[in-house]
Amino acid sequence: MSKERKVPEWLKKSRESWSNTGSKRPPFAEIPKAGQRSVWDFPRTPVIEKVTKPVLVKHQDHILAESQNALAVLETASPPTYYIPNSDIDTSLLIKMEGKTSMCEWKGSATYWALKDNPGKPVAWSYPSPFPVFEALKEHLAFYPQNLECFVDGEQVKAQDSAFYAGWITPDLTGPFKGEKGTEHW
């Protein structure tokens, strides 16, 4: 039986500080065209969306992950982050990075993964014990499109402009996107 993780009070307070919550687009947000979605309409608290399109992650000629069972986390101002079930990942190419963690105010404590042939550079992360509302992300990894080739429905995604955030920008999204210098407060 797993121990239920409670959200610490300091994180609850942090959550209350956000002014952009997806309820109203700011004046600088791009207007979506037909068939597009604005990241400014995504909510905060983030939500999980099932992905029905095929998702592929490659490193050089190796397929790291291939899935039609991915989940996308949608959060105000950021392009979706794709989480792929461990069962659809070739984990033989990956190694857990010892001592590297971070804390997400919504999902909990993250652990990081690197390629075995480059153990110092993170290419993925996971939430082994996420907060209860994000329990669906357990047994999934999210990959950095900055460091790998990532595809949705056969089309290569553009990486979010950030060393920390790892949203996957697809043509059906409009921004601007969090991650560029000066956008940290979004």
Flag whether pLDDT at 48 surpasses 50: yes
Asked if residue 161 belongs to a domain, the reply is yes
Q: Which residue has the higher pLDDT, 20 or 100?
A: 100
State the total domains in the chain. Answer: 1
Considering the domain boundaries, does residue 6 fall inside one? no
| Token pair listed for 23 | 């309820």
Residue 85 included in any domain:
yes
Stretch 42-52: mean pLDDT: 94
Express each pLDDT in 154-185 by its tens digit: 999 999 998 888 999 999 999 999 988 888 77
Assigned domain for 26 exists: no
**In a domain? residue 54:** yes
Q: Which residues touch 113 (CB under 8 Å, ≥6 apart)?
A: 94, 95, 96, 97, 122, 123, 124, 125, 126, 141
Query: What pLDDT was estimated at residue 11?
Result: 64
The length of the chain, given as a count of residues? 186
| 90 lies in some domain | yes
CATH number of the domain at 61, please.
Answer: 2.170.150.40
Asked whether residue 13 is assigned to any structural domain, the reply reads no
User: Which domain range does residue 66 map to?
Assistant: 48-174
